[in-house]
Structure 1
């Protein structure tokens, strides 16, 4: 409750949350809200200007840009959200196990993480996609494999801070099972920091998904997706720059909103940060 009160007092954080919620809702209800079919081809109306029928004009195939933008929000955000859930799930479980039990289990998991983190994530993603082939499923798998180790190490460090506290030591001495301690004590205390990590990195996931689609390795035509829209418009960037500007601004805005929201959540869960900023000012 105290966290929510601190978050509500942050106007920027609330603004970001409201706008992101709006973007998600537009994507979810894009079928009902979109003015046209995003895949309907009408070559006779290609590169049409802004109008009541096509509020943001049409692309090289005469498809409604606004409709594709709205459907693209659903595709981009859902793929990014699924990727984040799997990444947090794998990294979180292994991080909890590693940080709580320590010993040889910790050594094995951390050495695997060291191997995974020794490669740049972007290079690993491209390599995995090159092996598995193009497609949405494969870019999700590639992104999860490339990023889980970072989350595992971060969550492990968070868990260690709490397992060394007197509160957890007392629970162990009292005879509480490991499962009870992890689910009832460790996990609730770490959820806030895990949420902050996920929110801050959500922008990076969106950029990765869009970049892979832009390179032709992710979402394939005619599916509407922001990175795919950039890919399709790059050949006419000098003539019709607005075709790249629209999805580009959508990606930029969404990533920025997630970054600002993550900063606000960090201050809400750790009020010392906000106090320190005020004192510094």
Structure 2
């Protein structure tokens, strides 16, 4: 019972640890723990890519090379060719970079003691803003500034209904970076709160046993085994969620690029 009494306090402490805390300087000009781990993730991604390119061959050898080839081909076929269409080649580097950057950040954040760069709204908002600027620029490049604005209106719809639909499309377009940022942030934040909560439960029930070996403490620590098993399952789920969220962000960006380059609906 004592473990459950301490749980609210520990949960509050857990949530406070997800606030942006500067490790160098201050919040305005320094480096927070999220920025630090984002830099670590970026360096790790560069190392992975250099290792892949260095060992690249016509016939991939080894688990690492085959896995990288599979992921790249998956992005090429299922995101580039299937969604963007005939112009997929020029957008592939951007889409692949988005996927790998988000994925590596998500995975690094799962490691105990680390924080995901994608675990703060400022990072996900920056990613969403980059995606927003990119697909808007693609639309302007294909249609021109005025042509892109006109392309938001559906063709074949009579006035004034076409104006109403155009206004809705403009609002929808402006909301896209917000939904991209919030979706990624909320999924990663919620997942880490759940993992942290179960980790706290394991610690609270096991701590008396670690302090003193008695029969009562052994019985009292039994729930920690169940919470530990659940925690392992959640870790696996979070790894899967990290992949899915990177994929969803990339797919939605590809959809927006395709829509920006397409003619009026």
Answer with 1 or 2: which has the greater Rg.
2
What TM-score do you get using the length of structure 2 for normalisation? 0.31
Higher relative contact order (CA 8 A, sep 6+): 2
What TM-score do you get using the length of structure 1 for normalisation? 0.30
